[in-house]
Amino acid sequence: MTEHVAVPPVTAERPRRQGNVARRVRRGTVGLLWALAGIALTILMWELVKWLGSAISLPFNTSDTAMPHVWTMAGGFTQPEVRGSDTTVFQAVVAAAAYSLLIALGGFVIGVGIGLILAIVMQRFAFMERGLLPFVIASQTVPLIALAPLITGIGSRLSLGPVQWNTTYSVMFIAAYLAFFPMSVGALRGLKAPTATALELMRSYAATPRAILWKLRFPASLPYLVPAMKVSAAAAVVGTVVAEISTGVRGGIGRLIIEYARETTSQPAKVYVAVFGAIALGLVAASLVTALDVYLTRNLPKEGPA
């Protein structure tokens, strides 16, 4: 029997508070070890399924083209990208993933900025909240990504003044669109987090709305902003890759996956290396935001709001 929620000894003295950072690093390490165990288990299962597929008939294709051996995938890293070229598949994937990460970062910054502005506007003006919030929420249910192929069509035919529209901007735009939602909702909740008492205290000091925003609402919203930022960053990365896939814009990991997927019959390992690149891209982005999170919340008593 497993009871995950231990009942704390009510009357016993609580242990001295550990450093927030130290505790999280330790927990992260334990999580990492378990994740590695999970990966090892996945590899084992993969080979097991392949072996099973060679013995009996399974409802899917377990041939070496569809499901290459794990060591074939490993070999794929060092293959030349195209016959006779100097760059390996691994180098090409790293370059593409780095490019996508940069676009995602741009989308993240734009999305978080717009999300914050929307939240401040909605917090300040009740009418805007009533008018905008339903759309902000609806926007998340809308597969705007459906627009992606259309955006490609715009391509070079659009220019904003002297700035020539670049399809890369379209990808960034989609990433920003996916990233803005968690931020605006989280920030709005955070800006509304101060208690009535805290607001009355500020009012008793005759504080201006701007002072209340800077001295009270922003600091109080930190426990909400940070988790929202994490979700936004994840959305920006996913949005970038999905948009690259949908628009076929060159340079990023999304397009690379599509290209390599067409070569599975000749070089089955290539597409796996690209998919691992996409996974690594997600993990790198998540680590960056987690580092930011640990830094921003180092002085908070506990992790975020319940």
Partner 1 sequence: MGERFRAIWPPILIAVLFLAAWQLLVVVQDIKPYLLPSPSLIAGNFFSDLHLMWAAALYTGTTALLGLMFGTLLGILAALLAQRFIVINNLITPLAAGLAAVPIIALTPILNNMFNITSRTPRVLVTMIIVFFPMFVNITRGLIQVQPVQLELMRSMNANPRTVLRILRVPNAIPFFYTGLKIAAPLAVIAALVAEYFGGPQEGLGSRIASAAANTAYGRAWAYVVASILVGLLFYLVVIAVERWTTPWTGHNRST
Partner 2 sequence: MTTTTTSELAVQASGVWKVFNEGQPNEVTALQDIDLTVSRGEFISLIGPSGCGKSTLLRVIADLTHATKGAIQVAGMPAAQAREEQRYGMAFQQAALFDWRTVQRNVELPLELQGWAKDKRQARAAELLEMVQLADFATHRPWELSGGMQQRVAIARSLAVDPPLLLMDEPFGALDEMTRERMQNELLRIRQETGKSIIFVTHSIPEAVYLSDRVVVMSARPGRITNIIDVNLGSRNEDTREAESFFESVTAVREALRGRGGGSVSARVGEV
Binding site for partner 2 (CB under 8 A): 7, 9-13, 15
Query: Which of 4/157 has CB closer to partner 2?
Result: 4
Shortest Å distance, C-beta 166 to partner 1: 15
Query: Which of 225/274 has CB closer to partner 1?
Result: 274
Shortest Å distance, C-beta 14 to partner 2: 9
209 binds, among partner 1, partner 2, none (CB under 5 to 8 A by kind): none
Residue 46 to residue 40: CA distance in whole angstroms: 10
Residue type, 41: L
Backbone angles phi, psi at 152, to 5 degrees: -60, -40
Shortest Å distance, C-beta 255 to partner 1: 11
Query: Which of 179/225 has CB closer to partner 1?
Result: 179
Helices (runs of H) and strands (runs of E) counted in the chain: 11, 2
List of residues 6+ apart from 109 with CB closer than 8 A: none
Shortest Å distance, C-beta 13 to partner 2: 5
Query: Which of 26/262 has CB closer to partner 2?
Result: 26
Cα dihedral 286, 292, 294, 298 in deg (nearest 10)? -170
Shortest Å distance, C-beta 181 to partner 2: 29
Query: Which of 120/181 has CB closer to partner 1?
Result: 181
15 binds, among partner 1, partner 2, none (CB under 5 to 8 A by kind): partner 2
Shortest Å distance, C-beta 117 to partner 2: 36
Query: Which of 55/138 has CB closer to partner 1?
Result: 138
Residue 32 to residue 11: CA distance in whole angstroms: 34
Residue linked to tokens 């009535």? 196
80 binds, among partner 1, partner 2, none (CB under 5 to 8 A by kind): none
264 binds, among partner 2, partner 1, none (CB under 5 to 8 A by kind): partner 1
List of long-range contacts for 251-259, beta carbons under 8 Å, 24+ apart: 251/96, 251/99, 251/168, 252/96, 252/97, 252/99, 252/100, 252/103, 252/171, 253/93, 253/96, 253/97, 253/99, 253/100, 253/277, 253/278, 253/281, 254/100, 254/278, 255/96, 256/92, 256/93, 256/96
272 binds, among partner 2, partner 1, none (CB under 5 to 8 A by kind): partner 1
3-state DSSP assignment of residue 80 = strand
234 binds, among partner 2, partner 1, none (CB under 5 to 8 A by kind): partner 1
